[in-house]
């Protein structure tokens, strides 16, 4: 029984590290948004404030996908749903 629990915990650790790979997409998206915002400010320096707040909201929405990955990872590490079958 303890071997099976160890297997489940180890696999959960691997799965949790795979699930935070969702951060890759978030990183690319936020970098793209920041680059476009820098272009916009370069073209129209007087609209800096409006561009900045629009970019921050866009970045926050793009961040959600990465946060979902983080939450799946946290669930597997600290609130593992599979462990209850072994107790």
Partner 1 sequence: MQNFLDCDIIYSEGKFLYITGGGLNIDITNRNLWFLFEIGGEKVYITQSIFATWVVMAVLIAFAVFVRIKLKSFKQIPSGFQNMVETAVDAIANLTRTNLGEKFDYLGGYFFAVFAFILASNYSGLFGLRPPTSDIATTLALALTVFVLLHYFGIKMRKGQYFKDYLSPFFLFLPMNIIGEISRPISLSFRLFGNILGGLIILEIIYGLPVFVRFAMPAALHGWFDLFSGGLQAFVFTVLSITYISLQTADE
| Minimum distance, C-beta of residue 70 to partner 1, in the bound complex (Å) | 5
Q: Which is nearer to partner 1, 2 or 46 (CB)?
A: 2
DSSP string, 28-73: HHHHHHHHHHHHHHHH-GGGHHHHHHHHHHHHHHHHHHHHHHHHHH
3 binds partner 1 (CB under 8 A): no
71 binds partner 1 (CB under 8 A): yes
Identify which range of 24-32, 36-44, 53-61 contacts partner 1 by CB under 8 A.
53-61
Is the distance from CB of 66 to CB of 25 less than 8 angstroms? yes
74 binds partner 1 (CB under 8 A): yes
Mention every residue, 6+ apart, whose C-beta is less than 8 A from residue 5. 83, 86
Residues that contact partner 1, how many (by CB under 8 A): 23
Identify which range of 24-32, 38-46, 75-83 contacts partner 1 by CB under 8 A.
75-83
């Amino acid at each position: 029984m303890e071997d099976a629990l160890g297997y489940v915990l180890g696999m959960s650790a691997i799965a949790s590290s795979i699930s935070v790979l969702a951060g890759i997409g978030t990183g690319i998206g936020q970098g793209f948004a920041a680059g476009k915002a820098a272009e916009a400010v370069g073209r129209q320096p007087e609209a800096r404030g409006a561009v900045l707040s629009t970019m921050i909201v866009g970045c926050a929405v793009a961040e959600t996908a990465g946060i979902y990955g983080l939450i799946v990872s946290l669930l597997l590490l600290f609130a593992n749903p599979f462990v209850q079958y072994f107790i």
